[in-house]
Chains A and B, each alone.
Chain A
């Protein structure tokens, strides 16, 4: 059974860098069949896609965050990470990692079928 688990500081100071890791168990990131995403949800608000990374490290980010986001993958540890720099209070949110299938043969996607439980990150001094 696939499990994703987010880890990282729950409190980050304004202007500093938010760093999270998603630990994947029950499947191998290096298998190449899936893409790995970060999604966030400000308190009481809706879901915002942050970006995606595949097993080779190819990324795609939401344009509104692109200048501040870096995602990376460590296949040896079966985990992927998110860094968001220059954070402000507007970055306070529950951050989720998730996966979605990419069918390379058909060049089609499948939506997010597994999610982590989420981790609340608060930006405050």
Chain B
């Protein structure tokens, strides 16, 4: 199975900050990587597909990059609604696997 490792596990930031979350895959997954946002009590929401593709309806303050085993999710200017938990997920091969999550908290 492909292991996905996110860092940091928790991130404290303020409204307007730029934040970056890193995701590493245990083997190359090309660009078959997605990012999701999950607010408490809600289902995850797709933000980014194919490492850098912005899902329809997602604000352009979100961006993704990376290839192979190293990926990043950047939020250019944190908004109050962005405080949530973020997960990366590889869809290169079954079983599809998720990172352990990064919680973005209000500083």
Q: Are the CB atoms of A112 and B98 closer together than 8 Å?
A: no
Most chain B beta-carbon neighbours within 10 Å: one of A61, A62, A96: A62
Listed stretches B14-22, B67-75, B76-84, B89-97; interface member: B89-97
Expressed in whole angstroms, the Cα–Cα distance for A62 and B100 within the complex equals 17
Q: Which of the four size classes fits the interface of chain B?
A: 20 to 34
Expressed in whole angstroms, the Cα–Cα distance for A63 and B97 within the complex equals 12
Q: Are the CB atoms of B43 and A47 closer together than 8 Å?
A: no
Expressed in whole angstroms, the Cα–Cα distance for A96 and B89 within the complex equals 15
A: number of interface residues (CB 8 Å) = 21
Query: Any chain A CB within 8 A of the CB of B11?
Result: no
Chain A residues with CB under 8 Å of B45's CB are 115
Binding site for A on B (CB under 8 A): 1, 32, 34, 36, 42-46, 49, 55, 87, 89, 91, 94-101
> What are 25 inter-chain pairs, A to B, with CB distance below 8 A?
A46-B87, A46-B98, A47-B87, A47-B89, A47-B98, A49-B95, A49-B98, A61-B95, A63-B95, A96-B43, A96-B44, A98-B43, A100-B91, A110-B91, A111-B34, A111-B89, A112-B34, A112-B44, A112-B46, A112-B89, A115-B43, A115-B45, A116-B43, A117-B42, A118-B43
